[in-house]
Amino acid sequence: MQNLKLPVTIDPYKSAQRRLECVGVFELSEMKRLLDACESCAEHIEVSFQFDVDELGLVIFSGKGSASVGLICQRCNEVFDHKLEIDFQFSPVKNAEGAADLPSYYDAIELDENGEVNLRELVEEELLLAIPLIPRHELNDCQADADSTWGELPEELDKPNPFDVLKQLK
């Protein structure tokens, strides 16, 4: 499989008129926020994009992809591999008003000053949203003894509540 690099930004209107379909990769090393959020990341993510005009005449594009990352299990503190799956459907808008008019099944994406959308940022954002709120192993894979930790509060919740300190100051 050849790793065609996807364009970082694209004009969604022109692409929709051409009914553009493309598959390619983004380097994850260029996604700083994702790197910060994960212990480790695969080299790249393969994403497929499909641009179209829907029956209402709206320009839309959808995409799918997945990437492996390493996350820290909140139960045993070991790193584990997790596959982040993204699947999205956007319609570009010029401003917040345009976003309010969109049918609810589309997410709005604002155009930049050149009338383009930043696909790489969009993919990074979707990947960040795909990270579980509390990452942890499947129970069977976890090093921590499930019986002893189940139902116990994570350690960080045992720390003093900052608001208690405020109370003492009063």
Interacting residues with Zn ion (CB under 5 A): 73, 75-76, 137, 142
CB of 140 to Zn ion, least distance (A): 10
**Cβ closer to Zn ion: 80 or 106?**
80
Minimum distance between the CB of residue 139 and Zn ion, rounded to whole angstroms? Answer: 9
Nearer to Zn ion, 20 or 76 (CB): 76
Encoded tokens for 83: 């596959």
- CB nearer to Zn ion: give 50 or 74: 74
| CB 158, min distance to Zn ion, A | 19
Residue nearest to Zn ion (CB): 73
For residues 24-57, b (16+ Cβ closer than 10 Å) or e, as one string?
Answer: bbbebeebeebeebbeebbebbbbebbbbeeeee
Burial 140-157 (b: 16+ CB within 10 A, else e): eebebeeeeeeeeeeeee
